[in-house]
């Protein structure tokens, strides 16, 4: 998550929710934004998304709930945004946001 924290505006602009799950059950923890998850719920997320317990994995899921990309290593916010910005729905959003003057630039 530390790679993504400085890019909060870009995450918000793309409606990205970061869910973190760390550790192995029963000593695993998770959170969605600032809300902590129980170890049981964190385990359920791992199982649902088929995320291994003993290795890093980042899963990008689109707004329709489709698993779009998996990364076995941390990536930068710029790399994440490049992938997201190729999605058809995101392209439509970019046009609307540009027309509304919404951006991360001061």
For residue 17, the tally of other CB atoms under 10 A from its CB is: 9
pLDDT tens digit string along 7-66?
889 999 999 998 899 888 888 889 998 899 999 999 999 999 999 888 899 999 999 999
Can you list the positions of beta strands (E) in the chain?
19-22, 29-32, 35-37, 58-61, 67-71
pLDDT mean over 97-104: 92
Residue 58: the pLDDT is 92
- Asked whether the predicted pLDDT for residue 72 surpasses 90, the reply is yes
- Asked whether the predicted pLDDT for residue 3 surpasses 70, the reply is no
């Amino acid at each position: 998550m530390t790679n993504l924290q400085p890019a909060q505006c870009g995450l918000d602009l793309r409606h990205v929710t970061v869910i973190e799950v760390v550790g192995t059950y029963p000593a695993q923890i998770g959170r969605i934004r600032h809300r902590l998850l129980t170890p049981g719920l964190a385990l359920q997320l791992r199982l649902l998304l088929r995320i291994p317990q003993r290795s890093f994995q980042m899963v990008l899921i689109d707004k329709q709930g489709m698993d779009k990309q998996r990364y076995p290593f941390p990536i930068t916010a710029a790399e994440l945004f490049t992938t997201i910005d190729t999605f058809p729905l995101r392209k439509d959003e970019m046009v609307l946001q540009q027309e509304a003057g919404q951006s991360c630039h001061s």
